[in-house]
Amino acid sequence: MKLFGSRFEQVAAIVRKDFIIGLRRRASFATMMMFALTAVASLSLSTGGAFVEPKFFAALLWVVIFFAASAGISGTFDDEATAGTLQTLKLYAAAQAILFGKMIYVFLSLTALTIFILPIFLILFDVAVEKFFLLLATIFFGLIGIAAAGTLTAALTTSATVKGGLFPILLFPITLPIFLPAITLTEISFAGDAFEISSLVVIAAFDLILITASSILYDYL
For residue 50, the model assigns a pLDDT of: 67
Question: Percentage of the chain with pLDDT > 90?
Answer: 31
Rounded Cα distance, 146 and 113, in Å: 13
pLDDT band at 1 (very low <50, low <70, confident <90, very high): very low
Q: Are 206 and 138 in contact (CB under 8 A)?
A: no
The domain ranges of the chain are 7-218
Task: Give the pLDDT confidence of 192-207 residue by residue, as tens digits.
Answer: 888 778 889 999 999 9
Q: Is the pLDDT of residue 39 over 60?
A: yes
For residue 143, the model assigns a pLDDT of: 95
Tell me the whole-structure pTM to 2 decimals: 0.87
Q: Is the pLDDT of residue 53 over 80?
A: yes
Task: Give the pLDDT confidence of 119-162 residue by residue, as tens digits.
Answer: 999 988 888 899 999 999 999 999 999 999 999 888 888 765 55
Which residue did the predictor score with more confidence, 39 or 76? 39
User: Mean pLDDT across the chain, nearest whole number?
Assistant: 83
pLDDT mean over 23-41? 76
**Least confidently predicted of 10-19, 70-79, 165-174, 185-194:** 70-79
Rounded Cα distance, 164 and 158, in Å: 10
